[in-house]
Amino acid sequence: MFPSMDSSRFPPAVAALLEAGIDYAGLFPPAGLSLDETVENYARYRTGPDRRALGRLIVPATRLAEFVALTAATDRDLAGWRLSATLGAGGAAECGLVAEANRRLAARGAAVDAIEAKVLDGLAVATLARSVEPGAAWYGEIALDTEYEPVLDAIVAHRGYAKIRMGGITADLFPDPDSVVRFLQAVSIRSLPFKATAGLHHPLRGPYPLTYLPASPTATMYGFLNLMVATILARQGAEAAELKAALMESDIRDLRIQDGCLAWRDRRFAESGSCRVSFHGFGSCSFREPIDELRTVLTP
């Protein structure tokens, strides 16, 4: 469990929506920080006033040995740290790197307790499920431009979770809203929880810079509040058109926190935190940006 967020900084409804919901991926673009910078940031966020919103530290499996060596050399206190390892070209074979890291981290009170990997078919899902350590959560990232329903069925059968990519550092990496709606309906009918990654730095949909460079091009990005509302609607069995409208909402007057509840247009979601049963959260190369922008949205 994470320490409580300072309740004066966010209403209870917002705190519930963000509970351990932002996995910190500072190593990844567009931030692309060094491992040392990423570790320092994560350590600071863990003791900061918004720590309740902080989830796992995301580290590629191929860099776990480097992470273990770096933190050991600096005598970093890792008690309570939770990591998620992303698998790369080696696929499930990289789970051996996770197991080795966990053997070295156990005495320091830390653990890699989640795995994330792309899965293109049922065989890949089964191989991943067999390779993860007992008790670890694992997320199978599906490709939205494929017939992925059988892959979701395999994830359910092997007791995993799904993962969706919501953007990237180029405009073509942002999926169209119909594809996201299709995914939300697919996981909803299967009662399959999921996490998201990339492109969710902002609370509301709108045009934003793709990178942190001064001359960065912009693209229309989804907001994490949009995805949360659409997830709730999908759980409630809403039609595709309503889910799409929620994903595309960009007006702060229509998508907001009202009377302690997440609200969209004339709908108020009294149990808005329940969306986290289905939506486990999102990975972001910035922890501060989503938090700080949300505070601005709440107090325009």
How does pLDDT run along the chain (300 residues), one tens digit per residue?
A: 333 444 446 777 778 888 999 999 999 999 999 999 999 999 999 999 999 999 999 999 999 999 999 999 999 999 999 999 999 999 999 999 999 999 999 999 999 999 999 999 999 999 999 999 999 999 999 999 999 999 999 999 999 999 999 999 999 999 999 999 999 999 999 999 999 999 999 999 999 999 999 999 999 999 999 999 999 999 999 999 999 999 999 998 899 877 777 889 998 887 766 788 999 999 999 999 999 998 877 765
d(CA 76, CA 159): 34
Give the model's pLDDT for residue 256.
83
Give the model's pLDDT for residue 11.
72
Give the model's pLDDT for residue 163.
98
d(CA 4, CA 297): 22
> Which of 252, 273, 275 lies closest to 264 in space, CA to CA?
252
How many Cα atoms within 13 Å fall on the side-chain side of residue 247? 24
Give the model's pLDDT for residue 29.
95
Q: What are the distances in angstroms from CA 181 to CA 22, 108, 176?
A: 22, 42, 9
Cα-Cα end-to-end distance for the chain: 32
Read off the pTM.
0.94
Give the model's pLDDT for residue 149.
97
The DSSP-derived string for 190-252 is TT--EEEESS--SSS-EEEESSSSTT--EEEE--HHHHHHHHHHHHTT--HHHHHHHHH---T
CB 174 within 8 A of CB 206: no
Contacts of residue 186, defined as CB under 8 A and 6 or more positions apart, other chains included, come to 148, 149, 152, 192
